[in-house]
Amino acid sequence: MNQQLIFNNDFTLAIARQAVSFSCLVSGLKVFCYIPLPAEQQAEAFLQQVKVDAFHWEDRAEQAIADDAYNSVGEIWL
């Protein structure tokens, strides 16, 4: 386990951003990650599916962070 990266298990809907959000600590700094809502799926159903697939999304976020794929405000969009 990478001790420099800790996921907070706080998946929520970010309706204003049309995404599911979750956060992690990267070397002590909180980073917000977002997964865009698919147009063809209900937001609540997608949130539940993301929670079921949490390890997959955390792996993707870990790779994006390793690739330094932050946007201009320090967020990760998957």
How does pLDDT run across 33-76, given as a tens digit for each residue? 999 999 999 999 999 999 999 999 999 999 999 999 999 999 99
Residue 18 in tokens = 């049309």
How far apart, in whole angstroms, are the C-alpha atoms of residue 42 and residue 38? 8
Classify 54 as helix, strand or coil.
helix
Domain over 5-77 is classified CATH 2.60.120.260: no
pTM (predicted TM-score) = 0.93
Sign of CA dihedral 6, 58, 53, 34: positive
Please report which confidence band the pLDDT of residue 4 belongs to, taking 50, 70 and 90 as the band edges. confident
